């Protein structure tokens, strides 16, 4: 990864002072000076930046000078006001909540093969997915995966919190002696019992949301399912050394120790009756069947750029310079 030194100038005195300081103390550093230009700054600001350019002998790069600051105001007026409304009237916290809520509510992708099957279409599922469904709903004692103990109902979640000791990658959430561990719910409640617990996620459209778990520890459905069935085996075989080579920059200090702490806590949770999770030895085919059942929870719409078009802004719209551009690639990494 190439290191770059960026200094953002605002046109005010603090950032200008920092620029002067850097020029004096670190003259050899290849600094890049940038100015986030709204396109409607005061003339004095532009004149001031020209002066800085000349005095310091630096180049200042204008970023996204074509951003359209009127864009959101126009949209808010259209939906929540009239052409003559002003920003204070329409861009209210309540309206922002409402707009985000409506946007999220519109994205319910539940027309999946499993629903069709439940409604009576026997052809909607492959044989493998049908076997997977049975494993999903069967308790451990009958040779099943007992998944429904937590992934319940039409949304496949009981909305409760459990520790399933998934590998603890990344910078964590302030937990543990050196703050690199992630206590999940425990960070919020400060209760020991909640340590390492995370909310059961919905499994609708899970095929399209790799990598899996709170820390993105598994690329494949088979991998994360195998982990559920035998966390100790999964952790013992997890390629901790691959994480850094594949994801440079991800913090992996103490990853293994932190994960083992979660596993130790899982054993306590099991002894204390805090979780229904138990070790279950299922065959490779059974795990594939479970994964195929989960794939039957995919609404085909989420795989189609055309179907998703209403939610995807045009590439060149980007009114704030913050737009994330959607890419379609559902192929899992090995």
Q: Which chain residues interact with ligand HEC by CB under 6 A?
A: 145-147, 149-151, 162, 164, 166, 198, 200-201, 203, 206, 209, 212-214, 221, 224-225, 228-229, 275-277, 290, 294
Residue number, 76 or 275, with CB nearest to ligand HEC: 275
Give min distance, CB of 92 to ligand HEC, in A.
Answer: 34
**151 exposure class (CB count in 10 Å sphere: 0-12, 13-18, 19+):** buried
Residue number, 162 or 238, with CB nearest to ligand HEC: 162
Q: What's the CA gap between 45 and 241, in Å, rounded?
A: 50
Residue number, 226 or 252, with CB nearest to ligand HEC: 226
Give min distance, CB of 192 to ligand HEC, in A.
Answer: 17
Residue number, 19 or 147, with CB nearest to ligand HEC: 147
Measured on CA atoms in the order 126, 127, 131, 134, is the torsion positive or negative?
Answer: positive
Q: What's the CA gap between 258 and 182, in Å, rounded?
A: 8
Give min distance, CB of 113 to ligand HEC, in A.
Answer: 16
Q: What's the CA gap between 15 and 25, in Å, rounded?
A: 15
Give min distance, CB of 26 to ligand HEC, in A.
Answer: 42
Q: What's the CA gap between 285 and 128, in Å, rounded?
A: 9
Residue number, 16 or 135, with CB nearest to ligand HEC: 135
Residue number, 37 or 289, with CB nearest to ligand HEC: 289
**83 exposure class (CB count in 10 Å sphere: 0-12, 13-18, 19+):** exposed
187 — alpha (psi -120 to 50), left (phi > 0) or beta? alpha
| CA distances to 169, 179, 215 from 175, in Å | 13, 5, 14
Give min distance, CB of 4 to ligand HEC, in A.
Answer: 33
Give min distance, CB of 123 to ligand HEC, in A.
Answer: 23
């Amino acid at each position: 990864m190439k290191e770059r030194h960026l200094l953002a100038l605002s046109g005010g005195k603090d950032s200008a002072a920092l620029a002067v300081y850097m020029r004096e103390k670190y003259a050899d550093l290849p600094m890049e000076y940038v100015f986030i230009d709204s396109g409607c700054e005061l003339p004095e600001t532009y004149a001031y930046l020209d002066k800085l350019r000349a005095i310091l002998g630096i180049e200042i790069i204008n970023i996204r000078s074509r951003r359209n600051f009127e864009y959101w105001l126009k949209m808010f007026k259209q939906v929540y006001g009239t052409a003559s409304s002003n920003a204070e009237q329409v861009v209210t916290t309540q309206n922002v909540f409402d707009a985000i809520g409506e946007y999220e509510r519109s994205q319910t992708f539940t027309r999946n093969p499993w629903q069709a099957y439940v409604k009576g279409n026997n052809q909607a599922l492959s044989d493998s997915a049908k076997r997977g469904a049975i494993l999903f709903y069967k308790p451990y004692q009958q040779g099943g995966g007992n998944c429904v103990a937590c992934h319940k109902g039409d949304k496949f979640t009981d909305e409760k919190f459990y520790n399933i000791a998934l590998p603890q990658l990344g910078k964590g959430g302030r937990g543990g002696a050196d703050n690199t561990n992630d206590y999940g719910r425990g960070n919020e409640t400060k209760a020991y019992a909640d340590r390492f617990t995370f909310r059961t996620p919905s499994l609708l459209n899970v095929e399209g949301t790799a990598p899996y778990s709170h820390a993105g520890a598994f690329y494949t459905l088979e991998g994360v399912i195998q982990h559920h069935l035998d966390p100790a085996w999964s952790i013992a075989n997890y390629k901790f050394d691959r994480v850094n080579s594949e994801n440079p920059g991800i913090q992996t200090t103490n990853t293994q120790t932190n994960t083992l702490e979660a596993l130790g806590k899982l054993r306590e949770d099991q002894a204390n009756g805090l979780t229904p999770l138990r070790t279950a030895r299922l065959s490779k085919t059974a795990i594939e069947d479970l994964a195929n059942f989960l794939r039957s929870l995919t609404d085909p719409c989420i795989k189609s750029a055309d179907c998703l078009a209403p939610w995807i802004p045009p590439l060149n719209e980007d009114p704030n310079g913050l737009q994330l551009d959607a890419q379609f690639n559902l192929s899992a990494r090995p």
